A and B are shown apart, each in its own frame.
Chain A
Amino acid sequence: MNCDEVADLEENYLLGDLKGEEMKDFERHLKACINCAKRLSGYEEVLGTLFGSLKPVAPSPHVRKAVLDQVDGMPQGPVITLERPAPKPIWNRFGQNFGRILSPVAAVLVIGLTVATVFLSFQLQQVKTQQADMQQVLDLTSSPGSWIWSLTQPDVPFDSTAPRARMYARPDSNIYLLTATQLQPPPDGQVYRAWYTMNSTTVDYLGDVKPDPNGNAVLQVANPDHRAAEITGCFITREKAGSPPDQPTGPKFLAWKKN
């Protein structure tokens, strides 16, 4: 299989439609050809991103019900189950003394399981809390009703390597989320601060933006008043570290303004 043939089949490969020899040839080529492997990886990444960024349009509510009604009881495609060899009976290994050996083992197991259950319950509770927190973020970032405002450097031509940020908000969400990327660490003695403008008049402090070593930052702020609809602007400034966050004093480093 050559590069052109691989390129023609890459969508079928991604879909899982290739079978038998064709699949083997495809994967053999992919292992040997870094260009094709790179192109395939880029293809799926870019298309996934483009698809993820489409503005949703709400279909009629009846479609959802129709889908779920239709699949109810409908068989799915083949699911491969791996057959495991049956475990050898424990008494084969222990012979006639298995009962005497098994009793203390069972006691240890019971104690161990009890401890593990308590530990796992605690862990589960923590995971549930994290999940609830994460769900809020996911709802905000993926919901059709959310606003995504892009903060860019004012009066600077588009450059894909420049710092940028996004603010996510929704009228009924309990949080605001601001994400930034490609941020250099602030100069010594300074911090990045995010602000938002309400009704084109008042400026409120959103929080400090702290980039990680990769230049990424996430700021999640409570929005108990549900006033996202009144936001008309949002920006990041560089301020003196330790100064009270009353009003912005530095120039707008990244900004978005409602048209």
Chain B
Amino acid sequence: MKLKGAQIVVESLIAEGVDTIFGFPGGAVLPLYDALYGAKLKHILVRHEQGAAHMADGYARATGRCGVALVTSGPGATNTVTGIATAYMDSIPMVVLTGQVPVGLIGNDAFQEADIVGITRPCTKHSYLVRDVNDLARTIKEAFYIATTGKPGPVLIDLPKDVLNATAEFEYPKTVSLRSYNPTVEGHPAQVKRAFETMKQAKQPVLYIGGGMILANASAELVKFAKKTRMPVTTTLMAMGAHPTREELFLGMLGMHGTYAANMAMHECDVMVCLGARFDDRVTGRLDAFAKNCTVIHVDIDPTSIGKNVVAHIPVVADLLDVMKKLNALAEKDATDWDDKHRPWLTRLAEWKSLYPLRYEKSEAGIIKPQFVVEQAWEAAKGRNPIWTTEVGQAQMWAAQFLQFDGPRTFLSSGGLGTMGYGLPAAIGAQAAFPGRLVVNIAGDGSIQMNIQEVITAVQYGLPVKTVILNNGVLGMVHQWQELFHGKRYSNSEFQMNPDFVKLAEAYGAVGMRITREADVRPALEEAYKVNKPVLMDFVVEKEEKVFPMVPAGGTVKEMMLL
């Protein structure tokens, strides 16, 4: 069947099982938009291309499938860069289709030309410039394969306009053959056994879980393994939801704003079992004081993560689902009395948990505490199977600390890149995938303004996302660091002015609410969750509130500041 390049793209996306794409048209992609007209693909028209990239990312995180964004050449493409870098840092499967000027004009500084393959080279897993329409279908097949296998990540396909207009015989390839790309999937059985035997010898082990557990869809295996072996679990920001939070074995998030119990467990453990995490600086603090007295087992699909920051005594390069299944099979056949072996350790951890739980000082004079809003947002969402997204900064940390999770793919947050402006479009992407679920974005008054234009997208497509703005009038995390480390010189972190978020919401056709009294917090949330429209809730909260505990950047667990 002979098809135009543009039709080949549409048919290939359908063949990949794509149902929704997020995009914004422009000159170079007009042929593709023409082919989309009447096609069996839902297209969500965003208001800024960064929004399209984050929506595709949110869709991917919520569903586990590949997200797709489509934008034009030049500024359309460059506007997606932050979204691509966000997905890259958090290993999110995504295919970004960018328009490009016709092949003959490439390199001529043509109108709306940008070398987007060059610009995104360091923040994509791979990228393509398609110069021949005959390569198009195979390229798309490869792009989806690369984006979703091994360590997932964004793949960019640059599509010159003349390639979209040219015709070629179309048959979507069934298989991919790439001699240079064969991601390791199975864990070496002997190495997994060695890891298991080491855990059996441990008296004070800890399971340190990263986002890889969620990406590998291995959370259920983790829960089973932890339960069987009675090993305590701490998760990174990226892994929130990989293990239920309200359980005895769960220590909370670790790292800079992690719990006392989690960070102490990492400090005092004799065997550290790192599963799908990468020893990020926000987790380790000062490296020369981290994991000095323990055996490190490190399982990751990405060989470059292993031994990069922390020496792994027992490295395993593999898909976590495979390794977790193997570990569970070993545990199944094993007669170790894990509970007896770990009893003193678990008792100590329980003491730390009860001595230094996550807490905040209750409000005085009715001023709303941001942590209270987050707690209430969770309480009010009980039984609604919510998906949470966050912006970045204090609000993000409070969300990680004070929300509770029962399962994976319910907490979508920009961990690696720390992208303000991520939460709202990510929520829209998640809501597009799950129209019937409650999707709530926990935001600050700073970060919500970075992609606030997407409120109208949510309204237009009837995607009733809820945004909780913790409005303290300052860039909270910057403010906190300035207070603690820069002598309270609040350089440019205080907004002298903010928009009226209620009017703004209403101008977009969404529902706006302003909440200034503690007593009104819960009723407002209940009401917002009920209404079948996007809602912006402007909670006016305590300005001086800080995120604790805090291990200063480059510090050690000994320097942890507690409330």
Question: A and B, one complex?
Answer: no
Instruction: Write the residues of chain B forming the contact surface with A, with a CB cutoff of 8 angstroms.
Output: none
